[in-house]
Structure 1
């Protein structure tokens, strides 16, 4: 093969590799949740949106979420290097440097917000900008290293995407998307505290003040159970405002009761100790739980 052709081939492979690593900075798993919840917010809104506009809007919101993820990894690269859960991320492994991550995150932030303003409406762009700024400055920079309540307050960032989906369709805010926000906001603490229980050594090594480290195992178990109980009024709320019917309410309550049961089992375990298997099952079920609740929003909408 001609040496120049070989050089071009190697260059293209290297570019593809770099793109792959940059994509990992965007936290694809988190982005998938953003895409789904944003789509639910959009599809349950009273206004019809063309398929093209819906896809553009959802993709831009997911880009904004990816931008926030990249900036989070840029700022927390020192912590990521200390934790087994995150040590293989692009910056700790040296596959992407911090300057690249910063430029990538800032550029994506600007592009996603400006494009969302152009293709949809000003309020959607404003909420997306608020989401990025809140996740980066309030959660990542201010709260994460300072307080065990980091995930409670910071959880607001993850609760905005379905609200943005709603505003993309309607161009306005109302009480209905508050239901989406409250569900994700009150779901987040028990979800992450279950993870922090069986990953507490990681958080301790990185000196991150998660609840099991600052307040102990027993306090964490109590908080997980209490926040699981708070999901009951939150799940009933969309029914009370006539946003959904019994098709949503009954199965959602059954899913919530089972979540309460799992969290109670964890709480009821030996004092100041926890069952690692149970904590993992709560973390895993919490993901399925949130997914099914949002699926039920869609089912209720089309029936």
Structure 2
């Protein structure tokens, strides 16, 4: 039995409306998928705490909302541009073969329009709710990810994620500038923390998908040097990350909350990196690079939780 509804004397079949809604829903889901929401979540984890540190406590909730929305749109724009440029290699990689540009749910033209709209909207919003410096830093982040990483480095060097990771460091500068309309040593130290953290975070993931990168001819470190090099570099970068995080204590200055978070989670991070290296060198079949990958996310979250809470509940070290 077919249902109908009557509007202005015209019968509309409910059977025809349902498929249209389904198509629209799938299209919207495909657009959202192109923006890589999980990556955006991690960027926001570093932005908001930095704003609390810049304000030395609480600040306007409207500024927070505007910057988080604007930052999300900016990151989404960069991610869509990335999907557009990498659609040729996405189709040969198991991890990315179901992305909307590969399956045809979104056309290349549609993705380009979406990327530009998101980029323009983010710039306008950040300019309006914060200041021109914040908007300019956001544009810089998009260019770094799209041009420096995706177009220049990704397919040319196994150091791609090191220097290409600069784009992922920009949210701390954006967050700080939105509150102070300036930059100083504190956000630069946080920038350095994320810069050094990125290789230790991403290279273990590349081990899991090494066959994908080989097939796509992308020279990740796991492809060019192997799992041993990834494990060693993870140890080096984990140590460098934790040391950089401790620089914030005398510069900000930070109190007991941040110090405990940075030292405690840092020792955990370093320990897991050493454990991975030991297991790889011993070749005992116990090496789990994805454990370091997931732990690195927890580590960064705990550090920035300390960054955000410390200025609100400040307990000085001395």
Using the size of structure 2 for normalisation, the TM-score is 0.90
Partner of 1:133: 143
- Corresponding residue SS for 1:301: coil
Residues 110 and 152 of structure 1: CA distance in aligned 2, closer, same or farther (over 3 Å)? same
Q: 1:251 aligns with which of 252, 258, 261?
A: 261
Number of aligned residue pairs: 303
Partner of 1:27: 36
CA shift for structure 1 position 277: 5.1
CA shift for structure 1 position 92: 1.2
Alpha-carbon distance between aligned partners in 2 of 1:137 and 1:272, rounded to the nearest angstrom: 40
Q: 2:213 aligns with which of 174, 192, 203?
A: 203
Alpha-carbon distance between aligned partners in 2 of 1:114 and 1:202, rounded to the nearest angstrom: 38
Q: Is 1:289–2:299 an aligned residue pair?
A: yes
Q: 1:160 aligns with which of 164, 170, 193?
A: 170
Contact 2:133 2:181 in 1 (8 A): yes
Q: Is 1:185–2:221 an aligned residue pair?
A: no
Alpha-carbon distance between aligned partners in 1 of 2:173 and 2:243, rounded to the nearest angstrom: 19
Partner of 1:13: 22
Alpha-carbon distance between aligned partners in 1 of 2:106 and 2:247, rounded to the nearest angstrom: 44
Task: Identify unmatched segments of 5+ residues in structure 2.
Answer: 6-10, 314-318
Partner of 2:316: none
Alpha-carbon distance between aligned partners in 2 of 1:137 and 1:259, rounded to the nearest angstrom: 31
* Structure of higher CA gyration radius: 2
Alpha-carbon distance between aligned partners in 1 of 2:173 and 2:293, rounded to the nearest angstrom: 24
- Corresponding residue SS for 1:91: helix
Residues 102 and 250 of structure 1: CA distance in aligned 2, closer, same or farther (over 3 Å)? same
Q: Deviations over 1:186-212 (max 9, x none)?
A: 110011111111221111111110001
Task: Identify unmatched segments of 5+ residues in structure 1.
Answer: none
Write out the 4+ residue segments of structure 1 that deviate beyond 6 Å after TM superposition. none
- Corresponding residue SS for 1:4: strand
CA shift for structure 1 position 160: 0.8
Q: What's the C-alpha RMSD, in Å, of the aligned pairs? A: 1.8
